[in-house]
Amino acid sequence: MRHIKLALLGILALMSALWIAAEPGAVEGRNVFAVRASAVQYSGVLAMAVMSVAMMLALRPRWPERWMGGLDKMYRLHKWLGITALIVSVVHWLWAQGPKWAVGWGLLERPDRGARLPIANPVESFLSSLRGTAEGIGEWAFYGAVALIALALIRAFPYHWFYKTHRLLAVVYLVLVFHTMVLLNFADWVTPLGAMVALLLAGGTFAAGVVLLRRVGTARQVNGRIVELNYFPGVKALETTIDMPARWPGHRAGQFAFALSDASEGAHAYTIASGWHPDHPRITFVTKELGDHTRRLRESLKVGQEIRVEGPYGCFTFDDDCRNQIWVGGGIGITPFIARMKHMAVRGQMPDWPEGQSVDLFHTTSDVDEGALAKLAEEARFANVRLHVLISARDGRLTGARIRGAVPNWREASIWFCGPAGFGTALKRDFAALGFPVELRFHQELFDMR
């Protein structure tokens, strides 16, 4: 989370510093309309900067994933950038329209600008001739961006409609690129601000093209085939095993992938619930019925069906040198730990983790399936992991105090959490209150792709 905040604040601070350097007199507005001109330029620069970075992150690039802590963290930054773009764009629009309204209502008087001198530079003159067009379509693009970003933030909006409408933001972004190129102060293009804006617009335009051509992640996509389906009615979860082709690069326990079985629904992200063995190239997903799409999987998926898989992604890979790890899997959040236990069972004689490292796994669930729990206990036994299962109705809630009571050396441990976000936040806050270094040793999967 710290890197997400640093990235967002860093973008805003950098663009603000470049704008002030390019427009040192802008803060000395002599009247409302002079302030308006500066505010419109500044807010426009900020809005396009965050939108451009958000567009580039939509390509799921690999290079920032490790620094950000995984694609899940990158998607959280993408979301925050979208919210920031929404807020700054509204401010930009209010500065552009508000003084005009005030003039119409008789509250302000527009200053006399006098006769305009002819523009000698042919490029500047050409851009100036497009101002009216850029302002008009920019306003409509703003309305479109507000509507689409708002829909993306509304959790009740169905995923398959979100998947289809969110791509339209690429079209809106390209319109706003034209708007920016025409309306940014012409003199600013030869400053460091102009160079940075040009770089961001170029990167964002490339990303928008890739999105519109539906080429996001294609280099990391393979077609697998379903070989086994197992349903656990007590927990309403479907286990899907897929044969993978030789092109699949393999994965590490704790990573996830996007799986596409229905083109109209789009790809969904699922944690991989299996280890990787090149001699037996298969992966397993465990999918809980949480929405319309996942409820339909039990009937729609068939053995022998082809599935498109993209990945692997994520950095929730249990990398540390702590002598003890505490794993907490809430509900379907148990899946990365299943994958890790399978890996540990296979590598038991040749461990690729610190010698003597011990693991306590806490699994809390409100649903009960004896077959699934028996399978989990078997995986834990083979991996030499101490398993603590808490059934909510029988055992109550899992708390930090209960974890600390079961793991005496918790201060020297690392904590790996996957489950409901609110539950993870509460645990993190509980341990932080006792001096546990949560920024360094509390790892939480932010498994939220919208």
Find the mean pLDDT for residues 152-166.
Answer: 85
- Do 114 and 165 fall within a single domain? yes
Find the mean pLDDT for residues 387-416.
Answer: 96
124 lies in a domain?
A: yes
Binned at pLDDT 50, 70 and 90, residue 380 comes out as: very high
Q: Tell me, yes or no, if the pTM score tops 0.75.
A: yes
- Do 98 and 207 fall within a single domain? yes
Q: Identify the CA nearest to 32 among candidates 136, 108, 94.
A: 108
269 lies in a domain?
A: yes
- Do 349 and 425 fall within a single domain? yes
The count of structural domains within the chain is 3
State the pLDDT at residue 153.
87
319 lies in a domain?
A: no
Distance between first and last Cα of the chain: 17
Percentage of the chain exceeding pLDDT 70: 97
Q: What pLDDT digit, counting tens, does each position of 31-67 carry? A: 788 888 899 999 999 999 999 999 999 999 988 988 8
pLDDT over 90 (residue 154):
no
- Do 282 and 379 fall within a single domain? no
Q: Last residue of some domain: 169, 184, 212?
A: 212
Q: What pLDDT digit, counting tens, does each position of 211-258 carry? A: 999 999 999 999 999 999 999 998 899 999 999 998 999 999 999 999
- Do 293 and 337 fall within a single domain? no
The CA distances from residue 335 to 271, 372, 388, 427, in Å, are 6, 12, 15, 19
Q: What pLDDT digit, counting tens, does each position of 338-362 carry? A: 999 999 998 877 888 998 899 999 9
Binned at pLDDT 50, 70 and 90, residue 158 comes out as: confident
**Can you give the CATH number for the domain in which 347 is found?**
3.40.50.80
- Do 260 and 355 fall within a single domain? no
- Do 240 and 384 fall within a single domain? no
**Can you give the CATH number for the domain in which 266 is found?**
2.40.30.10
191 lies in a domain?
A: yes
- Do 86 and 180 fall within a single domain? yes
Beta carbons within 8 Å of 336's beta carbon, 6+ residues apart: 253, 254, 255, 256, 271, 272, 273, 316, 329, 416, 418, 445
Least confident range from 118-122, 165-169, 243-247, 441-445: namely 118-122
- Do 289 and 381 fall within a single domain? no
Q: Last residue of some domain: 212, 230, 251?
A: 212
State the pLDDT at residue 24.
86
**Can you give the CATH number for the domain in which 191 is found?**
1.20.120
118 lies in a domain?
A: yes
State the pLDDT at residue 445.
86
- Do 279 and 367 fall within a single domain? no
Range of the domain at 134: 2-212
450 lies in a domain?
A: no
Round to whole Å and give the CA distance between 295 and 288.
Answer: 8
Find the mean pLDDT for residues 140-147.
Answer: 95
pLDDT over 90 (residue 265):
no
Round to whole Å and give the CA distance between 262 and 268.
Answer: 10
Categorise residue 192: left if φ over 0, alpha if ψ from -120 to 50, beta otherwise.
alpha
Of 122 and 446, the structure prediction assigns the larger pLDDT to 122
449 lies in a domain?
A: no
Quickly tell me which residue has 């790892």 as its tokens: 443
Q: Last residue of some domain: 286, 313, 340?
A: 313
129 lies in a domain?
A: yes
- Do 238 and 362 fall within a single domain? no
- Do 299 and 429 fall within a single domain? no
State the pLDDT at residue 450.
60
